[in-house]
């Protein structure tokens, strides 16, 4: 299940895009004296997303008599379990540059995996709208970070370093004294199709329910319906617009401190939304 060839895309015509310059050749800037020197404000921003598509199921048919029994399930839809990391910095830098300002936009790359952790495939990744799909799992990475440089201004500039490492799922366990979350288990349960497929007490759920004083089995609990696709999943149901919307949604989750930190130990209830920082700005995302 090696990642497919990375896909670089735009929102409209699926033309591949690449950085048109680097630190030595700014993407935009006001040309000035080559000996420009002084203190500079340099900003940096990046965002990376790890995802697994998981099912939501319900019982579609049952047969039971004194000699045999069977149960069938339908896939009502699928959604993503998402882990997000983001970084931002504003630094005061001293040096000489050939331009008085510099700016490059933030661009993304999809590293889709063609099969799930069980080896099942759901169509070619190229079958997605405009020729690409995120597939059943993978990562979206910043291959070109946001960078901006201008003259340092003491009246408005302060050095800042911020990072976030958060989730939109957790590991849930039910007990006689209420719902609990498990610590340090997110990675282990991110591919828990059985747990994601139905809630506790739902007919035909794929994990054990609470019985007397015993805790029920732990399961994946997705927070939200991210990139929801109705019915059984197939790559040809994906769209570029939905992929780009997901990236911006995850960026907004960073900005609004809308991500859950992974619990380090077991506790009651759902982990709180504590991960994120206000300096992240999705207006720096570039899909052109």
Q: Is the pLDDT of residue 199 over 80?
A: no
pLDDT exceeding 90 applies to what percent of the chain? 63
Q: Is the pLDDT of residue 30 over 80?
A: no
21 — pLDDT class (breaks 50, 70, 90): very low
Q: Is the pLDDT of residue 273 over 90?
A: yes
- For residue 216, the model assigns a pLDDT of 60
Q: Is the pLDDT of residue 178 over 90?
A: no
- For residue 157, the model assigns a pLDDT of 96
Q: What DSSP string runs through 57-111?
A: EEEEEEEE-SS-EEEEEEEEEEEEEEEEEEEEEEEEEEEEEEES-EEE-BEEEEE
Q: Is the pLDDT of residue 280 over 80?
A: yes
pLDDT in tens, 53-80: 999 998 889 899 999 999 888 999 999 9
- For residue 218, the model assigns a pLDDT of 84
Q: Is the pLDDT of residue 109 over 60?
A: yes
Q: To which residue do tokens 């366990």 refer?
A: 173
- For residue 6, the model assigns a pLDDT of 44
Residue 142: count of CB within 10 angstroms of its CB: 20
Q: Per-residue b/e over 13-27, b at no fewer than 16 CB within 10 Å? A: eeeeeeeeeeeeebe
Q: Is the pLDDT of residue 210 over 90?
A: no
Q: How far apart are alpha carbons 78 and 73 in whole angstroms?
A: 14
- For residue 175, the model assigns a pLDDT of 73
Q: For the chain, where are the alpha helices, taking DSSP H only? A: 186-189, 193-197, 240-255
Q: How far apart are alpha carbons 266 and 44 in whole angstroms?
A: 35
Q: What DSSP string runs through 158-183?
A: --EEEEEEEESEEEEEEETTEEEE-S
Q: Is the pLDDT of residue 170 over 90?
A: yes
Q: Is the pLDDT of residue 22 over 80?
A: no
3-state DSSP assignment of residue 139: strand
Q: How far apart are alpha carbons 170 and 243 in whole angstroms?
A: 23
- For residue 79, the model assigns a pLDDT of 97
Q: Is the pLDDT of residue 213 over 80?
A: no
Q: Is the pLDDT of residue 214 over 50?
A: no
Residue 240: count of CB within 10 angstroms of its CB: 20
- For residue 37, the model assigns a pLDDT of 75
User: In the predicted model, what is the mean pLDDT of the chain?
Assistant: 84
pLDDT exceeding 70 applies to what percent of the chain? 82
- For residue 92, the model assigns a pLDDT of 96
Q: How far apart are alpha carbons 264 and 67 in whole angstroms?
A: 48
Q: By C-alpha distance, which of 186, 251, 190 is closest to 51? A: 190
Higher confidence at residue 12 or residue 212? Answer: 212
């Amino acid at each position: 299940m090696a990642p497919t060839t990375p896909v670089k895309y735009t929102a409209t015509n699926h033309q591949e895009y690449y950085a048109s310059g680097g630190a030595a050749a700014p993407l935009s800037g006001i040309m000035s004296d080559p000996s420009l020197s002084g203190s500079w404000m340099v900003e940096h921003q990046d965002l990376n997303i790890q995802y697994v598509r998981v099912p939501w199921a319900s019982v579609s048919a049952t047969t039971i008599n004194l000699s045999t029994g069977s149960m069938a399930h339908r896939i009502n839809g699928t959604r993503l379990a998402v882990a997000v990391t983001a970084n931002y910095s504003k630094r005061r830098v001293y040096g000489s540059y050939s331009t008085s300002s510099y700016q490059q936009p933030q661009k993304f790359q999809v590293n889709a995996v063609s099969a799930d952790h069980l080896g099942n495939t759901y169509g070619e990744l190229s079958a997605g709208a405009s020729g690409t799909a995120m597939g059943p799992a993978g990562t979206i990475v910043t291959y070109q970070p946001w960078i901006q440089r201008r003259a340092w201004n003491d009246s408005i500039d302060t050095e800042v370093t911020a990072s976030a490492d958060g989730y939109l799922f957790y590991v849930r366990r039910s007990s006689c004294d209420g719902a609990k979350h498990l610590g340090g288990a997110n990675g282990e349960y991110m591919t828990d199709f059985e747990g994601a497929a139905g809630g506790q007490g739902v007919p035909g759920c794929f994990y054990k329910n609470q019985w007397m004083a015993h805790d029920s089995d732990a399961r994946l609990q997705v927070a939200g319906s991210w990139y929801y696709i109705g019915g059984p999943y197939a790559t040809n149901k994906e769209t570029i617009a939905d992929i780009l919307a997901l990236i911006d949604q995850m960026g907004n989750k960073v900005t609004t401190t809308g991500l859950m930190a992974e619990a380090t130990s077991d506790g009651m209830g759902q982990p709180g939304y504590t991960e994120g920082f206000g300096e992240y700005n999705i207006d720096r995302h570039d899909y052109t």
